[in-house]
Chain A
């Protein structure tokens, strides 16, 4: 079963607006990652945040991690139509070999 839950399940915004997605998980982790998936294709790695980090930035992406609440958020600023995709969080569940994925958020950016 999936460890993580993401909300919202779907998000529709206008180009230029910010998009925020949230992820919750259940077990202890070493790190949490965010991935993007376009139209049911392969996953693109976006950003990794370690359990001892609280915030991380990469370009228009900002990720926060609250290990006390077992939650993370992904903020995409100044969204573009090309950001339309599904976004997944994934944790290592404390292991070194597998990723445990959230249920994903479908983001639609309207031009």
Chain B
């Protein structure tokens, strides 16, 4: 069973541009969680998608958005990039008990 996959591994963008990050959950799992790990701010919950719908979002501005496709893979879009958006973005799938979350390797976004 494949784990959570994310692409790209690294992404470099300039301020004002848009970034698109992708995630595929564990096969057969319908939920995807997105987290941001920025330097000095720690790991923060961003978004939760389940069955194609956004179920909840953390304390982030609307320029952070995403979607979930029928195959349950997900995209995270960050519009009007700011320097402070530079971070590691992690995607996670819940375990069978829905208590654990299993993380992908992350996408490191650098905004210059």
Give the B-binding residues of A (Cβ under 8 A): 2, 30-31, 33, 35, 40-45, 48, 50, 88, 90, 92, 96-104
Q: Is the CB of B33 within 8 A of A42?
A: no
Q: Which residues of chain B have C-beta atoms less than 8 A from A2's C-beta?
A: 42-44
- Say if the beta carbon of B64 comes within 8 Å of chain A: no
Stretch at the interface among B13-21, B74-82, B99-107: B99-107
* Chain B contact residue count (CB 8 A cutoff): 27
Q: Is the CB of A33 within 8 A of B100?
A: yes
- Say if the beta carbon of B48 comes within 8 Å of chain A: yes
Known: A42-B103, A103-B42. 13 other contacts (CB 8 A): A40-B37, A40-B88, A45-B100, A45-B102, A48-B100, A50-B99, A90-B43, A92-B99, A97-B33, A97-B55, A98-B56, A99-B35, A99-B101
Q: Which residues of chain A have C-beta atoms less than 8 A from B99's C-beta?
A: 30-31, 33, 48, 50, 92
A31-B99, A43-B103 known; A98 vs B58 contact (CB < 8 Å)? yes
Give the A-binding residues of B (Cβ under 8 A): 4, 6, 33, 35, 37, 42-45, 48, 55-56, 58, 88, 90, 92, 95, 98-106, 108
Complex CA distance for A99 and B48, rounded to whole angstroms: 11
A-B contact pairs, 27 of them (CB 8 A): A2-B43, A30-B99, A33-B99, A40-B88, A41-B105, A42-B90, A42-B104, A43-B43, A43-B90, A43-B92, A43-B103, A45-B101, A45-B103, A48-B100, A88-B43, A90-B43, A92-B99, A96-B98, A97-B48, A99-B33, A99-B92, A99-B101, A101-B42, A101-B43, A101-B44, A102-B42, A104-B42
A-B contact count (CB 8 A): 61
Q: Which residues of chain B have C-beta atoms less than 8 A from A33's C-beta?
A: 99-101
Complex CA distance for A46 and B68, rounded to whole angstroms: 28
Which partner residue on chain B sits nearest A47 by CB separation? B100
Q: Which residues of chain A have C-beta atoms less than 8 A from B4's C-beta?
A: 42
